[in-house]
Amino acid sequence: MQPQIMGGPLAGATGGDGFVVFDRVQKSYDGEVLVVKDLNLSIARGEFLTMLGPSGSGKTTCLMMLAGFETATHGDILLDGKPINNIPPHKRGIGMVFQNYALFPHMSVGENLSFPLEVRGIGKAERDEKVKRALDMVQMGEFVNRRPAQLSGGQQQRIALARALVFEPELVLMDEPLGALDKQLREHMQFEITRLAHDLGITVVYVTHDQTEALTMSDNVAVFEDGRIQQLDPPDKLYEEPMNSFVAQFIGENNTLSGVVQQISGDTCTVRLDSGEVIEANPVNVHAPGERTLVSIRPERVEYNRARLQEGAFTLKAEVLEFIYMGDVFRTRLRVAGRDDFIMKTRNAPDAERLEPGQTIEIGWLPRDCRALDA
């Protein structure tokens, strides 16, 4: 799969006006392979931007270049309009939360928080006050004398957050900060972090490989793959209007059917699937008849109840293979157009039918939900 590259400067990445700007940044570790290929990105003041991508996609490298721990091989990184390529990390004034928190084990919580203030030569009284305020902010006021090892994962997380914020940086970087927490705590901290970021008005660059985290927390999400940004959009747009197959498959669950474009007219096109059926689709990323395409449909946009199918909906025959009860939703695995991994999600509504394996049904969807993407 060769995802189509979003050509030219991305939306908003016009350079100069952003708080953080990556301008044609490239990075190579060995002089042979580019880990980051031509990165252009502009982050506004107060924005919560998430870099999302599988491991090895270059997102952490970008974060490290911004923090100053890696140098860009080519291109400029600007912070508040000033290039920072040659400024060492300790002079950048960027707060950072590390993956494993990196709380200093030989210092108490209070000393950990006091550290950034001490190295800035701030007096004891002011330090104590700021430390107290930062700890109260994350509801950890009474833990000031504990050692990091005496805290739970969630508490360490809060301290790491407080430490990154205590010296009042305008920009805070977070490198998979919630990766080590269990699900419930993670969801709670997601909320906590977004609330803090919003209240303090700080700019946050957040790196994660967890798409739920990215969707729930961010103003904008940059999807990384293969050293490039595949798509940069707000969460809803990213989910509903993926611009290429990689994004469609990486974000949320997705059904794909492969075929060949037959004709394109305006905002609809027809695709002949490999199994012979011809369906209508929304031509997002195809340009001419004869092109191979992957058609993508979200499982929750697939409908089998004729009464609920809208006017103009397109139908296909499907055989029920498996019915999974998941509480709030039903998940049905179907054989459609020769593929037996087609998933349909239906809400557990009062009138919802529980389908039996072996049953043959007709499924349908709206042509605009069926996106013809690059193959």
Binding residues for other proteins, total number by CB under 8 A: 27
Query: By C-alpha distance, which of 292, 300, 374 is closest to 332?
Result: 300
d(CA 112, CA 359): 62
Stretch that binds other proteins, among 91-99, 233-241, 311-319, 328-336 (CB under 8 A): 91-99
95 binds other proteins (CB under 8 A): yes
Residues 152-181 that bind other proteins (CB under 8 A): 163-164, 167, 173
Query: By C-alpha distance, which of 177, 238, 235 is closest to 204?
Result: 177
Q: Strand, coil or helix: what is 361?
A: strand
For the stretch 207-229, what's the b/e string if a residue is b when 16 or more beta carbons lie within 10 angstroms of its beta carbon? bbbbbebbbebbbbbbbbbbbbb
31 binds other proteins (CB under 8 A): no
d(CA 140, CA 282): 51
Q: Shortest distance, CB of residue 20 to other proteins, whole angstroms?
A: 15
Q: Shortest distance, CB of residue 104 to other proteins, whole angstroms?
A: 6
Q: Out of 19, 115, 239, 323, name the contact with other proteins by CB under 8 A.
A: 115
87 binds other proteins (CB under 8 A): no
Q: Which is nearer to other proteins, 103 or 284 (CB)?
A: 103
Query: Which residues face 272 on adjacent strands?
Result: 260, 278
120 binds other proteins (CB under 8 A): yes
Q: Out of 8, 16, 105, 290, name the contact with other proteins by CB under 8 A.
A: 105
89 binds other proteins (CB under 8 A): yes
In sequence order, which ranges of 15-150 are alpha helices (DSSP H)? 59-67, 109-118, 124-137
29 binds other proteins (CB under 8 A): no
Residue 363 near residue 334 (C-beta atoms within 8 A): yes
Rounded to 5°, the CA angle 256-232-292 comes to 30
69 binds other proteins (CB under 8 A): yes
Give the count of beta carbons closer than 10 Å to the beta carbon of residue 272.
Answer: 14
Q: Out of 21, 51, 63, 96, name the contact with other proteins by CB under 8 A.
A: 96
Q: Shortest distance, CB of residue 348 to other proteins, whole angstroms?
A: 40
Q: Which is nearer to other proteins, 58 or 116 (CB)?
A: 116
Residues that bind other proteins (CB under 8 A): 67-69, 88-96, 98-100, 102, 104-106, 115-116, 119-120, 163-164, 167, 173
